[in-house]
Amino acid sequence: MPPQSRPVLLTGASGALGRVLTRALGAQGLALRLTDIAPFPDPMPPDASFTRADLADGVAMLRLAEGCGTILHFGGVSVDRPFEEVLGPNLRGLYHIYEAARRERSRVVFASSNHSIGFHERGERLDHDCQLRPDSYYGLSKAYGELMGRLYWDKHGVESVFLRIGSCFPEPVDARMLATWLSYDDLCRLVARCVLAERTGCAVVWGNSANARSFWGEDARARLGWAPQDSADGFAGQLAGKLSGDPVIERYQGGAYCANGYSRGEASPADLFGWPD
Ligand code: 15L
C-alpha cells in the first residue's frame, strides 16, 4: 500500500508544533497515531489515538510505527541543550525512528532545523546542498538526523523529507525572524504535502514563509507541490530595528544559538586571512 493510504505516526505530538499539526491534519481526515513523552493536552481528532512513550524506547517505537505509511518526526529536544540531554532523544531516538521506517517501508518527515546550518553568515544565500554548519549540540543532532536519513535512503530506499525549519511561531518577534519565520499555516500545508506526495525521494526543504529577507534559496518544494503563502514582510515596520546588539548573534543565521558558549575570540579565519570560512 502507498504511504499516503496508511496511518501517520506523529512523534512530539504534545509539543507546540505537534499540537498545531494534529489539529490541521486531523481536520483533513488523516488517520493519526500520536505519541509523546508528555501527555497530549488537547481534544483528540476523530481518527486519532495517543500513546505516551519515550523515543529512547526502541521497542515502543517499532510497535507504534506498525502499518504506518509516514512518520512525522517532531519529537526530541527542540532547543539548545547540553550534549548529554540531546543524546538520548535526538540521536538514539532518531535511530529508533529510522529502524521503524525501514521495517515498515514508511516515509520519514524529519523536523530538522536552521540550526543544522546556523554558522553560515547572514549575507549568504544558501541552497539545499550547502554545507552543514551546526551551531549547537541541538543543531548537530539535526545535521546527524539528515545524514541518518541519507544513509537509510541510499542503503534501504527509505524516503525522507528534511524540513529545515526556521522560526515557527504564531508571529515573528525580532529582525532575524523577518528572514526565518514560518507561519503555522504554511507549516501545516507543507507537512500535508509531505504526507500526500506520491514520491519524495530524499529531499531538503527550507521551512520558512515567503519572506523577502530569506537567507535560503533552492530546495525540493516543487517536487512536493508546496509553496508558502504567508510572509513576515508585513512585520518589517515594527521589527527591522529589533536587533540583539551582540555581533555574533547578528553575524550568523542561527542567531543566539551561535553565541551560546561562544569562545572563539573575535577573529574568524575569513576576517584574519580572507579564507573562505
Ligand atoms: C529551532 O530549531 C527551535 O526549535 C526554536 O525554538 C527556535 O529557536 C528556532 O529554531 C529559531 O531558530 O528561531
Distance 167 CA to ligand 1 centre (A): 5
Q: What percent of the chain lies above the pLDDT cut of 70? A: 95
- The closest-lying atom of ligand 1 relative to the alpha carbon of residue 138 is 2
Check if 113 has its Cβ closer than 6 Å to any atom of ligand 1. Answer: yes
d(CA 252, CA 120): 6
Does pLDDT of 135 surpass 90? yes
- Contact in structure between 71 and 107 (CB atoms under 8 Å): yes
pLDDT at 166: 98
pLDDT at 68: 98
Sequence-separated contacts (24+) of 58-66 with Cβ below 8 Å = 58/95, 58/96, 58/99, 61/93, 61/96, 61/97, 61/99, 61/100, 62/96, 62/99, 62/100, 62/103, 64/9, 64/33, 64/35, 64/100, 65/9, 65/97, 65/100, 65/101, 65/103, 65/104, 65/106, 66/104
List, for residues 167-194, the tens digit of each pLDDT value.
999 999 999 999 999 999 999 999 999 9
Report the mean per-residue pLDDT for the chain: 96
pTM of the model as a whole: 0.96
Residue nearest (by alpha carbon) to ligand 1 atom 9: 167
The residue whose CB lies within 8 Å of the most ligand 1 atoms, and thus the one to mutate among 79, 183, 250, is 79
pLDDT at 3: 73
- Please compute the mean of the pLDDT values over residues 71-81 and round it to a whole number: 98
pLDDT at 272: 66
Distance 181 CA to ligand 1 centre (A): 10
Q: What percent of the chain lies above the pLDDT cut of 90? A: 93
Does pLDDT of 33 surpass 90? yes
List, for residues 226-238, the tens digit of each pLDDT value.
999 999 999 999 9
pLDDT at 4: 76
Does pLDDT of 156 surpass 70? yes
Alpha helices in 78-218 (DSSP H): 83-86, 93-104, 137-156, 177-180, 184-196
d(CA 118, CA 131): 10
Distance 42 CA to ligand 1 centre (A): 23
- Please compute the mean of the pLDDT values over residues 59-74 and round it to a whole number: 98
Distance 218 CA to ligand 1 centre (A): 21
pLDDT at 265: 79
H or E element at residue 204: strand 202-207
pLDDT at 277: 64
Does pLDDT of 269 surpass 70? no
Choosing from 95, 98, 137, 138, which is the catalytic residue?
Answer: 138
Confidence of residue 47 (pLDDT cuts 50, 70, 90): very high
256: exposed, middle or buried (Cβ count in 10 Å: 0-12, 13-18, 19+):
middle
Residue 181, SS3 per DSSP: strand
List, for residues 205-254, the tens digit of each pLDDT value.
999 999 999 999 999 999 999 999 999 999 999 999 999 999 999 999 99
pLDDT at 200: 98
Confidence of residue 110 (pLDDT cuts 50, 70, 90): very high
Check if 116 has its Cβ closer than 6 Å to any atom of ligand 1. Answer: no
The yes-or-no answer on residue 138 being catalytic is yes
List, for residues 14-31, the tens digit of each pLDDT value.
999 999 999 999 999 999
Distance in angstroms between the alpha carbons of the first and the last residue of the chain: 47
